[in-house]
Amino acid sequence: MKRKFIIDTDTASDDAVAILMALRHPDIDVLAVTVVSGNMHVRDGSRNARYTVELCGAQTPVYVGCDRPLLREPVHAYWYHGPDGMGGMNYAEPGLQAQKARAVDALVELARAHANEVTLVTLGPLTNIAAALARAPEMAEQISRCVVMGGAANVVGNVTPAAEYNIWCDPEAARIVFRSGMNLEMVGWEVGRGDAALTDADIAAVYALNTPYAEFAMDCNAHAVELAKHWQGDPGMTLHDPTAMAIAIDPGISKRSGHYRVDVELRGELTRGMTVVDERHTVGTQAGFTDEWGVRERNALVHHALDAPRWKELLMECLK
Ligand code: RIB
Ligand code: CA
């Protein structure tokens, strides 16, 4: 039987590749794609998600969700992902329409209808998930596994020295999710760096597959690669959401992980959105310690690094 996934996404170029991987994988059934404000306005994220679903010949329902963070002003990243979020490729308007129902309602209902069966993969700010948890706190128990692309596990961030974009963008939502009791896994942005980035040779090998999926995946991320050369970006094509999706599909791709208490900084003058990972379990060792939430348990499996050849192999398989 296929595994059931729900993908929550602020669909831009690397999100699109992650969605495509799940849709093309023979063992995965994507129940829904829910769109949230983040890199893109939800209007653009919805269009990009629907285009990707259509490209895969799927009928997966796409739901539009929250159009801004819980408390903060939205900060998009068109400068990075291109004016359309797809590297300026200006793909045709998809025929597939967004569902009339709202993403938050869909998340609550699908989690209830498929209790203990669903892997939720989040590729954007956690606003939709926090809103769904506010509506139905039992969702934390109903989702069997939630893989979060977000954060930086005690390493430098990508939007500030302390924080990664998805968590920084809506830290209040992220804190709600990390404190919800859901079975969480965190794939920070550092996991997609270094040898996980696609080299020029990897990119050429993907194009050589000569499929519409391979071409799409490389084309819409080319803008980010070029930008990185002229900005302080990493070399190669870094695909953060797809690396999280790879671990969601095949947990064996994770090479190093640990189970820790993770919390999110809201008020830090320099550290808004920092994911504070208690790698030494200091909080749990303080006798009698509980915060105002009464939480001190380890709340997330944090992935630190992946097996780069295996991740690239899986990507190639999905793009064939
Ligand atoms: O920080 C990485 C995240 O923001 C990913 O979700 C990616 O889509 C990006 O731009
Ligand atoms: Ca994303």
Report the atom number in ligand 1 closest to the C-alpha of 192. Answer: 2
Using CB atoms within 10 Å of the CB of residue 319, give its burial: 0 to 12 exposed, 13 to 18 middle, 19+ buried.
buried
Amino acid 231: pLDDT: 78
Only one residue has tokens 């090998």, namely: 205
Contact of 147 with 187, CB cutoff 8 Å: yes
Task: Kindly state if the Cβ of 77 falls inside 6 Å of ligand 1.
Answer: yes
What pTM, to 2 d.p., does this model score? 0.96
Rounded distance from Cα 6 to ligand 2 centre (Å) = 14
Amino acid 281: pLDDT: 77
Beta-carbon neighbours within 5 Å of ion ligand 2: 10, 15, 123-124, 241
Only one residue has tokens 């760096």, namely: 193
Nearest to 53 by CA among 104, 78, 19, 99: 19
Report the atom number in ligand 1 closest to the C-alpha of 159. Answer: 1
What residues are annotated to the active site?
240
Contact of 250 with 166, CB cutoff 8 Å: no
Report the atom number in ligand 1 closest to the C-alpha of 13. Answer: 8
Helix residue ranges, H only, the chain: 13-24, 42-55, 78-81, 103-113, 127-135, 139-142, 165-169, 171-178, 200-207, 212-230, 240-249, 282-285, 308-319
Amino acid 132: pLDDT: 98
Ligand 1 pocket: which of 11, 79, 189 to mutate (most atoms within 8 A of CB): 189
Neighbours of 194 (CB within 10 A): 14
DSSP 218-234: HHHHHHHHHHHHHTTPP
Q: Which residues contact 226 (CB under 8 A, 6 or more apart)?
A: none
**Token pair in block for residue 208:** 């050589």
DSSP state of 190: G
Task: Kindly state if the Cβ of 134 falls inside 6 Å of ligand 1.
Answer: no
Amino acid 84: pLDDT: 96
Task: Kindly state if the Cβ of 86 falls inside 6 Å of ligand 1.
Answer: no
Rounded distance from Cα 39 to ligand 1 centre (Å) = 7
DSSP 120-183: EEE-S-SHHHHHHHHH-TTHHHHEEEEEEE---SSS--SSSSS--HHHHHSHHHHHHHHTTT--
Using CB atoms within 10 Å of the CB of residue 109, give its burial: 0 to 12 exposed, 13 to 18 middle, 19+ buried.
middle
* Architecture of the structural domain at 3-319: Alpha-Beta Complex (3.90)
Amino acid 298: pLDDT: 86
Ligand 1 pocket: which of 15, 147, 186, 240 to mutate (most atoms within 8 A of CB): 240
Look at ligand 1, atom 10, and give the residue with the nearest C-alpha.
39
24, 4, 258, 270 alpha-carbon torsion, rounded to 10°: 80
Q: Which residues contact 293 (CB under 8 A, 6 or more apart)?
A: 179
Q: Which residues contact 87 (CB under 8 A, 6 or more apart)?
A: 13, 81, 219, 220, 221, 222, 223, 224
Contact of 228 with 275, CB cutoff 8 Å: no
- Nearest listed ligand to the Cα of residue 189: 1
- Nearest listed ligand to the Cα of residue 78: 1
Task: Kindly state if the Cβ of 190 falls inside 6 Å of ligand 1.
Answer: no
- Nearest listed ligand to the Cα of residue 243: 1
Rounded distance from Cα 142 to ligand 2 centre (Å) = 24
From first to last of its 320 residues, what are the pLDDT tens digits of the chain? 999 999 999 999 999 999 999 999 999 999 999 999 999 999 999 999 999 999 999 999 999 999 999 999 999 999 889 999 999 999 999 999 999 999 999 999 999 999 999 999 999 999 999 999 999 999 999 999 999 999 999 999 999 999 999 999 999 999 999 999 999 999 999 999 999 999 999 999 999 999 999 999 999 999 999 888 887 778 899 999 999 999 999 999 999 999 999 999 999 899 999 999 999 877 665 555 565 555 467 899 999 999 999 999 999 999 99
Report the atom number in ligand 1 closest to the C-alpha of 9. Answer: 6
Rounded distance from Cα 294 to ligand 1 centre (Å) = 31
Q: Which residues contact 53 (CB under 8 A, 6 or more apart)?
A: 19, 23, 33, 59, 60, 62, 94, 96
Task: Kindly state if the Cβ of 165 falls inside 6 Å of ligand 1.
Answer: yes
Report the atom number in ligand 1 closest to the C-alpha of 81. Answer: 10
Amino acid 292: pLDDT: 55
Rounded distance from Cα 287 to ligand 1 centre (Å) = 38
Where are the domains positioned within the chain? Answer: 3-319
CA distances from 196 to 86, 137, 219, 228, 300 (A): 21, 36, 18, 16, 22
Contact of 224 with 192, CB cutoff 8 Å: no
Amino acid 285: pLDDT: 56
